[in-house]
Amino acid sequence: MSSASRRTFAAAIVLTPAITAAQQAPPPADSQTARAILDGYVSEALSANLALAQQTAALRRANAGLREANGRFLPSVGLNARYSEFSGVVNIGDFINPAYAALNQLIGEARFPTNVAATLPFRQETKLEMTLPLFNDALFGARAAARAQRDFVGAGRQAAMRQLAADVQLAWLGYATASRAVETFEATVPVLDEHMRVSERLIGAGQATPDVLLRARAERSELQQQLDDARRQRDAARRAVNMLRNRDADTEVRLAADSSIVHADTVAADALVAHALARREEIAQATGGIRLAQAQERVATASYLPNLALAASYGVQGNSYRFDRNSDVALASLVLSWNLFNGTQDAARREQAQALRSEAEYRQQEAQRAIRLQVDNAIDAVRVARSGLTTADDRYNAAQRAFTLVQRRYAEGLATPVDFLSARTAFTAAAINQVVTRFALASRLVELERAAALRTLPN
């Protein structure tokens, strides 16, 4: 940025309706300022825009993913039940009963049962099972990755909100510009209609030739064409504003009062850059990308470490359901697993994660440079637009005085119709240029607001 651009920067703009040849009616006493209208429409869009609703749904999904990652640290408890009917399985009683019968014969007493019926597995098995991870570093990496993903998605949603706020303001300014242009052309229509009537009377009195009327009609037709196109642009801009607000296309869009001033605090250019680097969501997204890569690297490194878990179960088993001390079964285990070699896959995954972190760091540096450039360009654009508005005001005032003088001379017969039409064309063009330049400055301020992250957004 040049040294001149580094000087103290004051952002201020006057949003007024186009001053036409016709006298404007005074604004109503309850008319709102442009800032109040814009803030209202931005708030409405942030709460109703469909594209932003998609971002909100994505953030809810990321929050649910983080809760899932946290839940992996808690014990998991489940109920498992099985009841089976067997056919063709081995009955242990077929082996035990003959032996018991032989023993009974030897001792001469029926001391051992000879009707044992036992099959494996048992007909039923019902148990509660609990598993609790005691050490698993991959779980910590997965939780860090889920948290980084949540922050990344949240920053993306905030970036979408900031862009939406700028889009709403720019769309409204486009609608206001087209509306003021329509007002300017409509105020010029009576002037040309009167010129056509005067030309007809002059021709009837023999004081002018027919070409005067033909030129007046051509000028009137050109004006009507410009008016129709301005109305088309106005209607298209209104539909754009309503689409961002998620409203019907033909919903009325309010305009600012006849005189409305939007001020921004006087801020040094360096301070604007620093504010942007601290508040822009792209930086937060880049930081989230780095943290996500670091988490993935931790997950890959965890493959080199052992995993330890506690597993416990309690239930009943047997050939029938009986709840007593002879049927219940309890089991507790410490489970250790350690992958000693898997064909260098773990090393490859860790190398991929390290490369991903380097990519994220480069993206962060690129985002910082891009933001600096955007703020510098926005400051230059505002400065040039403000200078252009001063020139446009001077051009309008000069064209207005010239048209007033030519119109007076034309009424006194001292100016030709060509002089009148030329002065009228110059005055209308100056009025339109003033409108366009004024709202172009407002648009540049909106772009600076977005680039420097000056607007405070809701969570």
The DSSP secondary structure of 194-236, one letter per residue, reads HHHHHHHHHHHTTSS-HHHHHHHHHHHHHHHHHHHHHHHHHHH
**pLDDT given at position 266:** 54
Q: Give the containing element (helix H, strand E) for 183.
A: helix 137-204
Collect all residues with Cβ–Cβ distance below 8 Å to 432 and sequence separation of at least 6: 18, 181, 184
Please state the rounded mean pLDDT for residues 315-326: 78
Give strand pairing partners of 13.
262
pLDDT tier for residue 265 given thresholds of 50, 70 and 90: low
Q: Do residues 419 and 410 touch, judged by C-beta distance below 8 A?
A: yes
**pLDDT given at position 260:** 66
Distance, CA of 87 to CA of 92 (rounded, Å): 14
Please state the rounded mean pLDDT for residues 257-267: 54
Per-residue pLDDT at 299 exceeds 80: yes
pLDDT tens by residue, 85-137: 777 777 777 888 888 888 888 888 888 888 877 777 777 888 999 999 999 99
Which domains are seen in the chain, by residue range? 4-75+136-305+344-451 (1.20.1600.10), 85-120 (no CATH)
Distance, CA of 83 to CA of 155 (rounded, Å): 52
pLDDT tier for residue 263 given thresholds of 50, 70 and 90: low
Per-residue pLDDT at 370 exceeds 90: yes
| Mean confidence (pLDDT) of the chain | 84
Tokens 């006298």 -> residue? 23
Higher pLDDT, 47 or 93: 47
Reference 295, options 427, 141, 434; nearest CA is 141
Range 231-238, long-range pairs (CB < 8 A, 24+ positions): 231/178, 231/182, 233/174, 233/178, 233/181, 234/175, 234/178, 234/179, 234/181, 234/182, 237/171, 237/174, 237/175, 237/177, 237/178, 238/175
| Tokens (6 digits) for 344 | 């260098």
pTM of the model: 0.76
Q: Give the containing element (helix H, strand E) for 162.
A: helix 137-204
**pLDDT given at position 204:** 85
Per-residue pLDDT at 325 exceeds 90: no
Q: Do residues 238 and 176 touch, judged by C-beta distance below 8 A?
A: no
Give strand pairing partners of 268.
8
Please state the rounded mean pLDDT for residues 216-232: 91
Kindly tell me the burial class for residue 148, based on how many C-beta atoms sit within 10 Å of its own C-beta (0-12, 13-18, 19 or more).
buried
Residue 261 DSSP code: E
List Cα–Cα distances, 307 to 288, 298, 313, 348, in angstroms.
28, 14, 20, 20
Higher pLDDT, 199 or 429: 429
pLDDT tens by residue, 138-173: 999 999 999 999 999 999 999 999 999 999 999 999
Q: Do residues 285 and 131 touch, judged by C-beta distance below 8 A?
A: no
* pLDDT above 70 as % of the chain: 91
Please state the rounded mean pLDDT for residues 326-346: 85
Q: How many CA atoms does the CB half-sphere of 389 hold within 13 Å?
A: 21
Task: Return the minimum-mean-pLDDT range out of 181-195, 228-242, 253-267.
Answer: 253-267
Q: Which amino acid is at 23?
A: Q
Distance, CA of 220 to CA of 222 (rounded, Å): 5
Distance, CA of 1 to CA of 380 (rounded, Å): 9
pLDDT tier for residue 322 given thresholds of 50, 70 and 90: confident
Q: Backbone phi, then psi, for 273, in 5-degree steps?
A: -65, -45
pLDDT tier for residue 30 given thresholds of 50, 70 and 90: very low
Per-residue pLDDT at 17 exceeds 50: no
Tokens 């933001």 -> residue? 371
| Tokens (6 digits) for 74 | 């808690």
Collect all residues with Cβ–Cβ distance below 8 Å to 286 and sequence separation of at least 6: 360, 363, 364, 367
Higher pLDDT, 172 or 269: 172
Q: Vertex 431, ends 430 and 434: CA angle to 5°?
A: 85
Reference 185, options 218, 237, 215, 220; nearest CA is 220
